[in-house]
Structure 1
Amino acid sequence: MRRTILAVAGGALALTLAACGSSDTSATPAAQTPASGTPRAGGPAASGTVAAVAASSIEVQSTSNGQVTVNFSDTTTFTDRVAATLADVTAGSCVSVTGTGTPVAAQTVEISAANGNTCSFGGQAGGMRPQGDSSSRPSRPSGSARPSGTQNGGGGRAFGKVSAVSGTGFTVQEDNQQTGATTDVQVTVSSTTTYTKSQPANSSALKVGECVSAQGKADDTGAVTAQSISISQATANGCDTFEGRQRNGGGNG
């Protein structure tokens, strides 16, 4: 009887040890590796200050993510933001205005050519984000209509196509993306108003110390293959246009 009891106990112990040994790491799922080449969400693939320029790449430095390599090729499109004047504001051109009051007393005016009948910036139709804001695209609460120039962001802004120009200002047609209605916003200018415009460029416009924003895909090393690169001059605050939004390589305009 004693031998029988010992044999049964020994068998039970062996089964217990075997069960413990088989539960090692098989129940733990393997860690998933992010897909290579997936664009970073929430803004350009890389943006910031140009730290170095090579034949087919640049090094982009940001305060949030350090240094990012951006590769470009013959298929990459470039735009350069340069100084402009009121004479560059013409009927049919697109503008993004920041200022105060109603009518809007313009402090800054950004000018670009219309894409067909649409004004767009950063790939989004219907308006442009002023330089110095933290996003490349205009934002508004989900489902809400685009405010007019007297209410947008608390007043003092206008986004859209210019319908008329005078010596003291111009009129901006703002499209409501929800209703399709158009609102005329009056903009006045003064001797202190500053102007910039976006124009087609090429890789020769890339200079150390300038600001860039690159759209494209990042590989598993973080290097970006750029489809488009936007160039602008640094402000007194540096290349801070996109820094507030970036999760990758901060700021252009």
Structure 2
Amino acid sequence: MQLKSKFSGERARYFTGVALLILATIVLSLDSLWLFWAVLGILYLIGAHEALHLYQKIYGYAPNVWHYVGLTFVWCFVYIAPPIESTVMIGMFVVGFLAYKGFDVHHSFIFIYPTLPFVYILALFREFGVMAVVWLVAVVVFADVGAYFGGRLFGNIPLSPSSPKKTLEGAFVGFMFASVVGGLVGLKYVGFLYAFVTSAIMAISAIWGDLYESSLKRRAGVKDSGSILPGHGGVLDRLDAMFFAAISLHFLLCTKAAIEAAL
């Protein structure tokens, strides 16, 4: 009875999680760059809006319309130009313009977080194909699910002051699940051992991403970044772990490709 009570009362969370998985499955199975860019772009603009309001609560300065103009240009350019370079280039011009006009530039951090993580997810699709994104999603989902249920069943030791409800035991269970499952999914690219190590690094990165978002919300004095996803909060609440994991996977795959090209 006590075990059942730990998981009851969160139907909205489960329902939303299943709905998101179905959406991700449909989008990835169609293997269309345009569709992936469009869906990810919607999530990006919502997530960026959430981040701007987190920064507003932290720094006490309302976002300027030029931030939204810059963000829209970023996502348009990343479809036709090198994604990461496009982000840096446009962000540089927007930041410079805001400084020229005398606006507070604290919100310009938006071009680093969450813009760059979103761009890295798109870059994974463009440069390494849909299976790279499937690998990313598998690692993050199993890390999250493992940490959630592992924490509920065995959790006792708090993981971090930034997120006191998460436990060390839950993080370890999620880490192991994600590493093993990711090792199997990553067989398309490399052998199991390399895929296992890569997945383990992604799983650790996912934990850091989750804690980073938690620290931002703690500074802003809010529980969730938004409320668009019932039971999960906002887009940033759902994708925070994926952000850091995507950067790690892109780096590791690019490094592997560079080493192979040099040999």
> What TM-score comes out, normalization by structure 1 length?
0.27
Q: Which has the higher helix share?
A: 2
Larger Rg: 1
Higher strand share: 1
Q: Which has the higher contact order (CA 8 A, sep 6+)?
A: 1
